[in-house]
Amino acid sequence: MELLTDEEIAGQQPYAYWLDGVKGLGNGKKQKLLSHFQRPEEICLAEKEVLSPFLTGEQIQALKEEKRRVEEYYELSGKGICFYPFYHPCYPQRLREIPDKPFGLYVKGELPKEEERSLAIVGARNCSEYGRYLAEAFGGELGAKGVQIISGFAKGVDGLAQAAALEAGGSSFGVLGCGVDVCYPASHAGLYEQILENGGLLSPYPPGTPPLSFHFPPRNRIISGLADAVLVIEAREKSGTLITVDMALEQGREVYVVPGRVTDRLSDGCNRLLQQGAGVALSPAQLFAELEESLWRDKKSYPLKAGKAGGVEAPGQDAPKGKEEALLALLEITPLSLDEIRLKMKENKRLRDISLPDTLELLLKLVLKGCVRQVGSCYARVGKAGEYGHR
Amino acid sequence: MFSSMYAGGIAGMEAYPVRVEVDISRGLPGFELVGSLDREVKEGKERVQIALKNAGLSLPVAKITVNLSPADIRKEGTGYDLAIAAGLLACMGRIDPQSLQDTAFLGEMALDGEVSRVNGVLPIALALRKEGIRNLVVPAQNAAEGEGVSGIAVIGIKNMEEFLIYLQAGKEERRTLFPGKKAGGGKGKEASHAFPDFADVYGQESARRAAEVAAAGFHHLLLTGPPGAGKTMIAGRMPGILPPLTQQERTEVASIYSVAGKLGGKETLSERRPFVAPHHTVSPQGLAGGGRIPRPGMLSLAHRGILFLDEMPEFAAETLEVLRQPMEEKVVRIVRSRGSYCYPADFMLVGAMNPCPCGYYPDRNRCSCSETQVKRYLSRISGPILDRIDMVAQAAPIQLKDLHKRERGESSADMAKRVSEARRRQKIRFQGSPYHFNGELSGRDTERYCELGREERRFLEQVFEAGEMSLRAYHKVIKLARTIADLDGEERIGLRHLSEAVYYNSGRKQLWKGE
C-alpha cells in the first residue's frame, strides 16, 4: 500500500471505520482489499463488478449494506474513543509486527507508549490466594518501576495485577473482548475508571460490542503483541492463559512463568511451560533485572515516583515482638485457617500454651499492625516487597 | 332435661374453657349441635350417638340440642365428644351431674367406644385449672401430658366402659379407681446424656468454641465448611451443652408440643431443649405453622431450643424469609380469616452451609467454581437473614491423617459447665429486665449492659478504621464479646474477648462482601 500523507489518512478515517465494522469479512480479507484499492473510501464507493474478483456475492452484499456507518465515525470522539486502522501512525508499533494483526484498534484513554517498557501479566480468573498475592506483588512492584502492565482486564490475576500497578503509581492497559465502552466484568467498574486515568482500554471490537465468549481468544494475541514479554501467574492446563502464551511465542515474545507447587492444579499450566523451557520469574526484582539485561537494555531508566515505593503496603512502625513475632513466623503468604494455625502452634514451644481467645487477640493485633491480612476466617502474612526469591 | 359439662378448646396457643350444654326435651325428634362449629365437631354427634348405642345406651326419641358455649368462637377438633357424651348421659338421668361440677372432659370417641387421643391437652388443662376445674378426663394416650401440672388431676381413660365406670362412681370411689397422674411429679430425664457427646468431635477447635459461645449467649450461629468437616456433628451436639429447661420453659415447650399433637409416647415433658432440624424441602407453612386449622410449625417446635437448618442455601428463598419476623419478635403470627394466631418461637438458629456449590472453596485444587458462582451461592442467604445471624464460624477440612493424630475433644459435660456458669452471670445481669441472654439485647441496651473501658473502645475504633468491622456490626461484636467474657468469668470485657468477637463477625463479612 502506497504511503498516504497524514491528511489523507485523516480524511479516510470514516471509511476505515466503516470497513472495520463490515461483518462477514475477515481481518486478512480487509487488509488484502485495502492493499489493492489503497483507500478505504474507494472500497466503499466501488461498484459490485469491481469487487467481484475479490469477494463472494454475500461479502459484497455485506459491504453494501454497511454504508450507514460512515457517518457514525464522528460520534466516536464524543465518547472519548479513538479508532486507529493498522496503517495509522498511532497504531502501536509493537502490534504492527505480529502475524494477523487486527485491522483496527479502538482505544479509550491512552495507548501504551512505544519507548517505555511493557509487560503482559496474565493468569487464571479463579486464582488462588497465592495467585492473588503474586499478581499484586508483580503488578505493583513492576508498575512502580515504570513498566506498563498489559493484561486482559479479566477477574483474577489480570485485574489484580492491573489494579496493583495503578495503585503503585504505574500505568496499565487492558485489552477487552468487548467494546471499549462496555465494562466487563461489571465488578471492575472501579478499575475501569482508574485505568482510564493512567493508561487505557483497547479493543479490536467496535464500541457497544457485547462480551461474547468467542471474542476473547482473538484479543489474547493483542495482549502479548503489545508487550515486550509475557509473565504467567497461575494457569490451569488447557486455559485461555496458555492461548496467550502460544500467541506470544508465535510473535517472538519472551515468556516468563512463576513456578507453583506441583500439587496445585492451578499451577499445572505454569509448571508445564517451565518444563518446556519458559523463563523463570522468582520475584519482581529478579524479573525486572533479567528483562533489563536482555530486552530493555536501551530503555532509559525510569524516575521512581515519590511516596509509593512498592506494590505491597509497608508494615506499621511498631514491629511485632515476642509472642506476636513467633506467631507471625508461623503464618504463610497463603491464608491458613484458624484451626491450621492452632495445630502449628501446638507444635511450637513458645506458643503451645496460648489459648484460642488469646490467639485471636494476637492475630487481630497483627492485623492492625498491617503484618497480617485477614481473609474471612483465615489469616495470611503480608509479604514485604522483594522478601522472597533472588533479589 | 338440661345439663352442662366442661370441655376446652384451643385457638392458636390460647386455650379457653368450653361449656357443653345439653338439652333433651319433647318435640320433633332430632339431634342438633350448635355453637359455631367446624365439620369435625358436628360429626361428633354421630360418633357419640353410635358409641352410646353400642354400649347399650340408646338416646331417647326426643328433641336433643347441644350447644358449645361460648358460641361465638369457632370450635374445631374432635375433643368435645366425651363432654357431649357425659352431658347426654346426665340428661338421660344415667349419672349424677352434681358430682361432676369441677370435672372437664376432653377426648374423641370411636364408634366401638374406644377413646382416642386429641391435641392440646396440656394448655387446656392449665386454662381449666384457672377456672376452678379440679379433674380433667382425657384419653389414656394423653394422660402423660398432665404430669407436670399441679392443682388439677388428669385422668386417662381408655374406652366407653371405663368412662361409664368413672361417671357412675361416687367421688371417693373415683379417687381410688382413677388416681390420675401425680401432680407436680415426674421429673424429666438427665439433659445431657440424651444427646451425642462433643467428645466424639475430633479437632475443630474453633468451631467447637463457636458452638460454646453461641450456646452461652443464645447467639444465632452459621457454620460454614467443606462437606464432611463435621458441621452437622457439631450442631447436633449443641443441645447437649445448653442448660436444662426451667420449669416455666418446660411448660411453654410442652404446651406447644401438646397443641401440635407431638406430646406423648417418648416425648414426655422433659428438661431437654428441643432440637428441630427440618429438611431443606420444608415449605414456608411447615416452618412457620399454619394450615386450615393452624398448627405450630417447626419454628415453634424449636421454641427455647435449637432450630438447625442444614445446607441452608438449599432452602427455598421464600422459606428462609419466613425466619425474619420470628427471629425479631420471637413469635410467629398467622392470620386467617377467622382470626390471628400467635405461636411462640424463641429459638436459636444454627445454620450449616458449604462455602460454594461444590463445597470446597477456597481450596482451588478441588473447587473450580467461578467467583460469580460462589457469590450467587452465598447470596441465596439474603442480607436481612444474614443480618440476624450473630456469628459465622468455619469448620476446617479434616485430613485422614489428622483423624488418627488428634486426641478426643473435650466432653459436652465440661462445656456445659462453662455455659451454665455464663448463663448464671447473665441471669444476675438481667434481673428485672425483659432479657435473658446477651444475644437478645437491642442496640441501645447493648451499651447499657455491656460497658467497655477506654482502652477497649479505642481498640474497637482501630479495628473499625482498619476495615475489619462495619458500623452495623458494632453492637453485635460487643454483645458477642460480653458473652465471651461471661464464659471467661470476667466482669470486664477485655481485648481478647473483643478480638474473638471480631473474628466471628469477620467470617460473616467475608462470605457476603466478596472478601
Confirm whether A314 is domain-assigned: no
Is the pLDDT at B39 greater than 60? The verdict is yes
Looking at the fold, whether B161 and B208 belong to one and the same domain comes out as no
Search chain A and give the residue with CA nearest B371.
A126
Q: State the first-to-last Cα distance of chain B, in angstroms, to the nearest integer.
A: 79
Looking at the fold, whether B22 and B138 belong to one and the same domain comes out as yes
pLDDT at A312: 45
Percent of all residues in chain B with a pLDDT value above 70, rounded to a whole number: 93
Looking at the fold, whether B134 and B45 belong to one and the same domain comes out as yes
Nearest-by-Cβ selection for B205 from A266, A342, A363 = A342
Looking at the fold, whether A362 and A283 belong to one and the same domain comes out as no
Looking at the fold, whether A268 and A170 belong to one and the same domain comes out as yes
Confidence of residue A8 (pLDDT cuts 50, 70, 90): confident
Confidence of residue B382 (pLDDT cuts 50, 70, 90): confident
H-state helical runs in B33-152: 39-42, 44-54, 81-91, 121-130
Residue A333 in grid coordinates: 503468604
pLDDT at B292: 76
Distance from the A194 Cα atom to the nearest Cα atom in chain B, whole angstroms: 20
The separation between CA B5 and the C-alpha centre of its own chain, rounded to angstroms, equals 32
Looking at the fold, whether B75 and B204 belong to one and the same domain comes out as no
Confirm whether A94 is domain-assigned: no
CATH code, A187: 3.40.50.450
Higher pLDDT, B408 or B288: B288
Confidence of residue B513 (pLDDT cuts 50, 70, 90): low
> Which chain B residues touch A342 with a CB distance below 8 Å?
205-206
Distance CA B258, CA A73 (A): 78
Residue B213 in grid coordinates: 459461645
User: Nearest to residue B414, comparing CAs of B220, B197, B235?
Assistant: B197
The kind and range of the H/E element at B373 are: helix B371-378
Distance CA B213, CA B202 (A): 18
pLDDT at B190: 42
Q: Mutating which of A265, A344, A360, A366 best tests the B interface, going by the most B Cβ atoms within 10 A?
A: A360
pLDDT in tens, A38-57: 888 888 888 888 888 888 88
User: Nearest to residue B387, comparing CAs of B512, B218, B225, B299?
Assistant: B512
Higher pLDDT, B341 or A112: A112
Is the pLDDT at A113 greater than 90? The verdict is yes
Q: What is the mean pLDDT of residues A311-327?
A: 68
- How do beta strands A118-123 and A148-151 pair? parallel
Distance CA A155, CA A159 (A): 5
**Residue where one domain finishes, among candidates B125, B148, B177:** B177
Looking at the fold, whether A140 and A225 belong to one and the same domain comes out as yes
Confirm whether A15 is domain-assigned: yes
Confidence of residue A151 (pLDDT cuts 50, 70, 90): very high
> Which chain B residues touch A361 with a CB distance below 8 Å?
495-496, 499-500
Confidence of residue A377 (pLDDT cuts 50, 70, 90): confident
Higher pLDDT, A289 or A314: A289
> Which chain B residues touch A357 with a CB distance below 8 Å?
484, 488, 496-497, 499-500
pLDDT at B189: 43
Confidence of residue B514 (pLDDT cuts 50, 70, 90): very low
Looking at the fold, whether B465 and B401 belong to one and the same domain comes out as no
How many other CB atoms are there within 10 angstroms of residue B192's CB atom?
21
DSSP-based three-state secondary structure for A77 = helix
CATH code, A356: 1.10.10.10
- Any residues with CB less than 8 A from the CB of B335 and at least 6 apart, and which? B341
* Paired strand residues for B66: B22, B33
Is the pLDDT at A307 greater than 70? The verdict is no
DSSP-based three-state secondary structure for A254 = strand
- Beta carbon pairs, A and B, within 8 Å: 96
Q: Which amino acid is residue B87, in one-letter code? A: G
User: Nearest to residue A191, comparing CAs of A157, A170, A163, A164?
Assistant: A163
Looking at the fold, whether B12 and B104 belong to one and the same domain comes out as yes
Looking at the fold, whether A283 and A331 belong to one and the same domain comes out as no
Distance CA A1, CA A9 (A): 12
* Paired strand residues for B14: B11
Higher pLDDT, B270 or B318: B318
Q: State the first-to-last Cα distance of chain A, in angstroms, to the nearest integer.
A: 49
Residue A390 in grid coordinates: 533472588
> Could you tell me where the beta strands, DSSP code E, fall in B301-375?
306-309, 331-336, 339-344, 348-353
Residue A387 in grid coordinates: 522478601
Confidence of residue B192 (pLDDT cuts 50, 70, 90): very low
Distance from the B357 Cα atom to the nearest Cα atom in chain A, whole angstroms: 15
pLDDT in tens, B293-309: 788 999 999 999 999 99
Confidence of residue B415 (pLDDT cuts 50, 70, 90): very high
How crowded is the C-beta side of B97, counted as CA atoms within 13 Å?
20
Confirm whether B429 is domain-assigned: no
pTM for the model: 0.79
- Following DSSP, what letter does each residue of A186-210 receive, concatenated? GGGHHHHHHHHHSEEEEESSPTT--
> Which chain B residues touch A127 with a CB distance below 8 Å?
364
pLDDT in tens, A221-247: 999 999 999 999 999 998 889 999 999
* HEC secondary structure over B155-172: EEECEHHHHHHHHHCCHH
**Residue where one domain finishes, among candidates A54, A79, A104:** A79
CB contact under 8 A, B515 and A128: no
Confirm whether B433 is domain-assigned: no
Residue A91 backbone phi and psi in degrees, to 5: -55, 130
Buried b (16+ CB within 10 A) or exposed e, A97-108: ebeebbbbbbbb
Could you list the residue range(s) of the whole structural domain that residue A251 is in? 118-294
> Could you tell me where the beta strands, DSSP code E, fall in B378-496?
391-394
> Which chain B residues touch A363 with a CB distance below 8 Å?
499, 503
Q: Residues in chain A whose beta carbon is closer than 8 A to a beta carbon of chain B? A: 125-129, 155-156, 263-266, 335, 337-340, 342-343, 356-358, 360-361, 363-365, 367-368, 374-378
Chain-wide mean pLDDT for chain B? 88
How many folded domains does chain B comprise?
Answer: 3
Q: What is the mean pLDDT of residues A277-303?
A: 87
Confirm whether A110 is domain-assigned: no
Distances (CA, A) of B348 to A181, B239, B301, B327: 50, 10, 12, 9
Looking at the fold, whether A280 and A154 belong to one and the same domain comes out as yes
* Paired strand residues for B135: B103, B153
Buried b (16+ CB within 10 A) or exposed e, B383-416: eebbeebbbbbbbbbbeeeeeeeeeebbbbeebb
Is the CB of residue B272 less than 8 Å from the CB of residue B239?
yes
Nearest-by-Cβ selection for B503 from A156, A266, A360 = A360
Residue B298 in grid coordinates: 417447626
Confirm whether B404 is domain-assigned: yes
Q: Mutating which of B401, B499, B511 best tests the A interface, going by the most A Cβ atoms within 10 A?
A: B499
> Which chain A residues touch B488 with a CB distance below 8 Å?
357
Least confident of A71-80, A167-176, A307-316, B18-27: A307-316
Least confident of A221-225, B44-48, B404-408: B404-408
Is the pLDDT at B322 greater than 50? The verdict is yes
Looking at the fold, whether A218 and A347 belong to one and the same domain comes out as no
How many folded domains does chain A comprise?
Answer: 3
Confirm whether B216 is domain-assigned: yes
Looking at the fold, whether B148 and B9 belong to one and the same domain comes out as yes
Could you list the residue range(s) of the whole structural domain that residue B296 is in? 192-409
Confidence of residue A2 (pLDDT cuts 50, 70, 90): low
Is the CB of residue A219 less than 8 Å from the CB of residue A177?
yes
Q: What is the mean pLDDT of residues B265-290?
A: 83
Confirm whether B476 is domain-assigned: yes
Q: What is the mean pLDDT of residues A164-176?
A: 95
Looking at the fold, whether A133 and A67 belong to one and the same domain comes out as no
Q: Which amino acid is residue B119, in one-letter code? A: N
Q: What is the mean pLDDT of residues B490-514?
A: 83
Distance CA A135, CA A156 (A): 9
Looking at the fold, whether A122 and A212 belong to one and the same domain comes out as yes
Confirm whether B184 is domain-assigned: no
Q: Mutating which of B206, B223, B493 best tests the A interface, going by the most A Cβ atoms within 10 A?
A: B206
pLDDT in tens, B326-360: 998 899 988 887 778 889 999 999 999 998 899 88
H-state helical runs in chain A: 6-21, 27-37, 40-45, 48-51, 57-65, 69-76, 93-96, 129-144, 157-167, 189-197, 216-226, 240-250, 268-275, 284-294, 322-330, 338-346, 356-368
The separation between CA B377 and the C-alpha centre of its own chain, rounded to angstroms, equals 30
How many other CB atoms are there within 10 angstroms of residue B118's CB atom?
24
The predicted complex's ipTM stands at 0.80
Looking at the fold, whether A264 and A135 belong to one and the same domain comes out as yes
Confirm whether B465 is domain-assigned: yes
pLDDT in tens, B229-267: 889 999 999 999 998 888 888 889 989 998 988 876 555
Confirm whether A137 is domain-assigned: yes
pLDDT at B37: 93
Looking at the fold, whether B363 and B291 belong to one and the same domain comes out as yes
pLDDT at B495: 92
Nearest-by-Cβ selection for B506 from A263, A368, A374 = A374
Looking at the fold, whether A142 and A286 belong to one and the same domain comes out as yes
Is the CB of residue A350 less than 8 Å from the CB of residue A340?
no
pLDDT at B266: 53
Confirm whether A304 is domain-assigned: no
Nearest-by-Cβ selection for B364 from A265, A356, A361 = A265
Looking at the fold, whether A225 and A372 belong to one and the same domain comes out as no
Q: Which amino acid is residue A239, in one-letter code? A: S
Least confident of A138-142, B120-124, B463-467: B463-467
Confirm whether B387 is domain-assigned: yes
User: Nearest to residue A279, comparing CAs of A229, A223, A221?
Assistant: A229
CATH code, B45: 3.30.230.10
pLDDT in tens, B421-437: 999 999 999 998 888 88
